[in-house]
Structure 1
Amino acid sequence: MTTVKFSDAFSGYLLAQQARRVSGNYLALLALSRDYWTTHVGDDELAAITPDHIRRWLLWLGAGDGKGLSGASVNIHYRNVKAFWLWCEREELVEFGRAAIRKVARPAFTEKEPDVLTEAEARQLLKAARNDERDPNAYRNYCILHFFLDTAVRLSELAGLDLRDVNLSEGYAKVLGKGNRERIVPLGLELRQSLSRYRLKYRRSENGEGALFTNDEGERFAGAGVRTMVVRELRAHVPRELRKT
């Protein structure tokens, strides 16, 4: 059987994935798995790589003195390397059924439950945010927090909302989620009333800006600004430490 180094084989694997027209993000993630491998393990010949090499690599990925990745991220790199080894078998770069990965179990990990606000904390947050209705930014921030709590949309989905995406009379909004997939989220009556008031009384707009939530200059209130505002309000009005979610 032909002697092939890990990096050479992985280059062939990447070409095979490109031919399948996989996404650029996936190719970049595969390349990252390759780089993590060569950084820690080296560039040995495939025949010299053992299951112990893979196990030590997985431990290094998750170790505090290694890459310190989360359990979910370690599993992603495990799947990437497993797919690579199975491709090597199909291409007869290693003996079929004898790839080192076959003797390495998928790493077990426990996902942390994300912190969420209690109902009382959510009410307190909205009450504090609505304290000064004379300030256009304060009322906009109240509406944003209300929107998050009412719909559980992602930050990018909220920041990307345009006026045309929100139907207050029918009670729904169209958001663009992961993979550019559009979905419909229902809006409660109280949120619809707040958004209507914001649009009529507080929303700034320059040069025909179509964004629902705008900044002082009348331009789209970008995701970074929204995130900063939300973190500030949480720290000011929620009396406990919240993990990132």
Structure 2
Amino acid sequence: MRIDEAADAYATHLARVRRLSPATVRAYRSDLADLSASAEAVSLEGIGLEELREWLWQATRRGDARSTIARRTAAARGFFSWAHEHGMIGEDPGIRLVAPKRGRTLPRVATAPILARVLDEMSAAAAEGDPIALRDHALLETLYGSAVRVSEVCGLDLSDLDLDRRTARVLGKGSKERVVPFGAPAVRALDAYLVRGRPVLRSRADPSRSERSATNAVFLGVRGGRMGARSAYDVVANVLRPELGGAAGPHALRHSAATHLLDGGADLRAVQEILGHASLGTTQIYTHVSSERLAATYRLAHPRA
């Protein structure tokens, strides 16, 4: 069987049966296309364990991150295991493929005073009434206030918001739905944006492109359609980059919110629920961030440090 045909069928399986996120499915499909090109093979039978190892070795020599190589390993192992189960190949070459150990890196976190100052400045700009400023302020307050992913905030519809209860219903990874809380500052920013900013942006929508006009979307782009994750990333990065240095996008707000919750005494499992993590182990990385901060404070303040 041709690799591209099998890879397309596998991508459909990941999306419909395993219900992985569209971003994960695209990444796995891209990995398999790269494998096919690297091995110069057209059929599944043309790829064995040696070809798989050579493919990963090429990625290592290019300097790809460990996380990228680990994902590629997972994509290849899952694909060939699935192909073997469905009788497309006689032997599974990926069963002996070993992924490199991932290095643990602490996420980039902004301090509460830095974020308070940034959000106060955005609030002052939004008070002038510019619809983009109103939207951007509401966007950052929502991201930080609820610790949601950028894809989740861009997917919000008006019916997902409950400003009275200060909650939002989001669709996370694996199409898992959860309800997240947010605070009073996010409520005020959202209310101002929905009343004074969003109608202006909505009026810019092209009637002939109704499928992109996003009638119910909370966050809109400059042309009235649903705001994309890339646009949201740019908004956040432009604000945080001067404060944190280097790349700092919406995930920095998510990391910061999780860390600040734990610093404030929040239960780890409650933070897991808010973040939508399937495993508690994923959430535990934020306890390391808090410990690092605690140690730094101790070193600065304690006379016997």
TM-score (norm. length: structure 2): 0.58
Distance verdict in 2 for CA 1:83–1:185, change over 3 Å: closer
Higher CA-based Rg: 1
1:232 maps to what in 2? 238
Report the alpha carbon displacement of residue 227 of structure 1 after superposing the two structures with TM: 2.8
Distance verdict in 2 for CA 1:232–1:60, change over 3 Å: same
Listed one character per residue, the Cα deviations across residues 56-91 of structure 1 (whole Å, up to 9, x for unaligned) are 321212322xxx543233223323433455555995
Report the alpha carbon displacement of residue 150 of structure 1 after superposing the two structures with TM: 0.6
Q: Which amino acid aligns with 1:197?
A: A
Q: Give the one of 116, 123, 148 matched to 2:109.
A: 116
SS of alignment partner, residue 184 of structure 1: strand
Q: Give the one of 185, 189, 192 matched to 1:194.
A: 189
CA contact (8 A) 2:141 2:185 kept: no
Distance 2:89 2:197 in 1: 65
Instruction: Map 1:1-245 onto structure 2 (within 5 A).
Output: 8=1, 17=10, 21-23=13-15, 32-43=30-41, 53-64=51-62, 68-83=63-78, 88=84, 101-132=94-125, 133-137=127-131, 138-205=133-200, 206=202, 209-214=215-220, 219-220=224-225, 222-223=227-228, 224-236=230-242, 238=243, 240-243=245-248, 245=251
How many residues are paired up?
229
Q: % of aligned pairs identical? A: 21
SS of alignment partner, residue 67 of structure 2: helix
Listed one character per residue, the Cα deviations across residues 14-72 of structure 1 (whole Å, up to 9, x for unaligned) are 59858x955387887666455434433444999997755543321212322xxx54323
Which region of structure 1 is more displaced relative to structure 2, 155-164 or 24-33?
Answer: 24-33
Unpaired segments ≥5 residues, structure 2:
17-21, 204-213, 252-305
Report the alpha carbon displacement of residue 186 of structure 1 after superposing the two structures with TM: 0.6
**Larger helix proportion, structure 1 or 2?**
2
SS of alignment partner, residue 75 of structure 1: helix
Unpaired segments ≥5 residues, structure 1:
1-7
2:285 maps to what in 1? none
Q: Which amino acid aligns with 1:234?
A: L
TM-score (norm. length: structure 1): 0.69
Distance verdict in 2 for CA 1:70–1:188, change over 3 Å: same
